[in-house]
Amino acid sequence: MNADENDFLPNTYGSNKDNEQASVFTGKPINLPYPSLGETFKEPEIFCDMVDYYFQETLGEPPAPCTRLAVFGGRGIGKTRAVVEYAWSRADHYTALLFVTAQSMWGFIDKMAYLCPLLGITPESTDEYSRFQQVLRWLVDPAHAGWLLIVDGSDCDESKKIVKECLTSLWGGHMIVTTYDYDWRDKFFSFARIQQPEIAQAVDYLMERTEGKRKAYADDMEKAENLAKATNTIPLALELATACIGIHGLSFGEYIDRWQREEPEVADWVDGYDLEYYRQVAVAWKLSFDILTPAAQALLYMLSWLDVDPFPRFLFNRQAGTEMLQRNTADFPTPNEILQLLSGDGQADMGMALAELRGYGLLQPAGESLFPNEGKLHPSVLLITRQRQPLESRLDSLQAALDLVYGATFVNPQIQQSWSIWEPMVDHAAKILGYAWYAEIANPTAHLSNNVGQLMLVKGELVGAEGIMNRALKITEKDLGPDHPELASRLYNLANVMIVAGKGAEAEPLLWRLLGIVEGQDGKHRRFLFHGLSLLGKLIYELGRREEGEALVKRALAVAEEILPPNDPLLAPVLTDLVAMLFNVPRLAEAEPLLRTLISIEESYHGLEHPKVSDHLNNLAILLQNTNRPAEAEMVMRRALYIDEKTLGPEHPNVARDLHSVAYYYQSDKRFAEAEPLMRRALAIEEKCFGPDDGKIAIALNNLALVLADTNRLEEAEPLMRRALAINEHNLGPDSEEVAVVLNNLSQLVESLKRQDEAISLMRRQLVIFLKLTRESGRDHPTLKLAIGNYLNMLKTIPMGKHQYEQLLADLGPEAGFDQLSFRRLRKRVGL
User: What's the pLDDT tens digit per position in 97-119?
Assistant: 998 888 777 778 888 888 888 88
In the predicted structure, residue 656 carries a pLDDT above the cut 80: yes
- Quote the pLDDT of residue 64: 55
Among 223, 212, 283, 214, smallest CA distance to 253 is for 223
Instruction: Check pLDDT > 80 for residue 810.
Output: yes
Q: Percentage of the chain surpassing pLDDT 90?
A: 49
d(CA 814, CA 589): 48
Tell me the mean pLDDT in the region 420-445: 92
Residue 9 confidence (pLDDT): 33
| pLDDT value, residue 177 | 86
- The confidence band for 432, taking pLDDT boundaries of 50, 70 and 90, is very high
Closest to 388 (Cα-Cα) out of 262, 220, 480: 262
> If you compute the radius of gyration of the chain from its CA atoms, what whole number of angstroms results?
34
User: For all residues of the chain together, what is the average pLDDT?
Assistant: 86
How far, in whole angstroms, is CA 387 from its chain's centroid?
Answer: 31
* Sequence-distant (≥ 6) Cβ neighbours of residue 425 within 8 angstroms: 312, 315, 405, 408, 409
Cβ atoms within 10 Å of 89's Cβ, excluding its own? 18
pLDDT of residue 291: 95
Predicted pLDDT at 36: 80
Cα(693)–Cα(698) distance, integer angstroms: 8
Q: How far apart are CA 238 and CA 252, in angstroms?
A: 12
Contact 73, 79 (CB under 8 A): yes
- Residue 62: pLDDT band (50, 70, 90) is low
pLDDT band at 93 (very low <50, low <70, confident <90, very high): confident
**What pLDDT score does 319 carry?**
95
Per-residue pLDDT, 39 = 63
pLDDT higher than 50, residue 6: no
20 vs 481: CA distance, rounded Å: 56
State residue 250's pLDDT score. 94
CB atoms within 10 A of CB 314: 25
pLDDT category at 1 given cuts 50, 70, 90 is: very low
Q: What is the pLDDT of residue 386?
A: 93
Q: Are 255 and 238 in contact (CB under 8 A)?
A: no
HEC profile of 315-370: HCCHHHCCHHHHHHCCCCCCHHHHHHHHHCCCCCCHHHHHHHHHHCCCEECCCCCC
Residue 51: what pLDDT? 77
- Identify the pLDDT of residue 43: 52
pLDDT tier for residue 400 given thresholds of 50, 70 and 90: very high
161 band by pLDDT with thresholds 50, 70 and 90: confident
Residues 256 and 226: beta-carbon distance below 8 Å: yes
**Per-residue pLDDT, 511:** 96
Closest CA to 490 of 532, 542, 547: 532
Most confident of 157-166, 169-178, 378-387: 378-387
The CA distance from 135 to 111, in Å, is 10
Question: Does the pLDDT value for residue 60 go beyond 60?
Answer: no
Residue 222 in this model has a pLDDT that exceeds 60 = yes
Half-sphere exposure of 138 (CA within 13 A, CB side): 24
CA distance 661 to 684: 15
- 468 vs 4 pLDDT, higher one: 468
pLDDT at 17: 40
| Cβ atoms within 10 Å, residue 411 | 22
pLDDT digits (tens, 9 = 90+) for 15-51: 334 444 444 455 789 988 888 876 655 554 567 777 7
In the predicted model, is pLDDT for residue 333 greater than 50? yes
Question: What pLDDT shows up at residue 41?
Answer: 55
Residue 20: what pLDDT? 42
pLDDT of 338 > 90? The answer is yes
Q: Residue 12 has what pLDDT?
A: 31
Q: What is the mean pLDDT of residues 801-820?
A: 87
Kindly tell me the number of DSSP H helices and DSSP E strands found in the chain: 37, 7
Query: Average pLDDT for residues 363-390, to the nearest whole number?
Result: 90
Q: Please give the share of the chain, as a percent, with pLDDT higher than 70.
A: 91
What mean pLDDT do residues 565-577 have? 89
Task: Supply the pLDDT for residue 22.
Answer: 44
Separation of alpha carbons 130 and 65, rounded Å: 23
Is pLDDT at 626 greater than 70 in this prediction?
yes
pLDDT score, position 624: 92
Distance CA 246, CA 21 (A): 24
Q: Is the pLDDT of residue 11 over 80?
A: no
Out of 132-136, 160-164, 637-641, which region has the weakest mean confidence (pLDDT)?
A: 160-164
| Rama region for 724: left / alpha / beta (φ>0; ψ in -120 to 50; rest) | alpha
| Residue 522: per-residue pLDDT | 77
Q: 3-state SS of 106-167?
A: HHHHHHHHCCCCCCCCCCCCCCHHHHHHHHHHHHHCHHHCCEEEEEECCCCHHHHHHHHHHH
Per-residue pLDDT, averaged over 412-441, amounts to: 90
Instruction: Quote the pLDDT of residue 40.
Output: 54
Would you say residue 498 has pLDDT above 50? yes
- DSSP one-letter string for 687-716: HHHH-TTSHHHHHHHHHHHHHHHHTT-HHH
Strands 363-364 and 376-377: antiparallel
CA angle (743 as vertex; 740, 747 as ends), nearest 5: 145
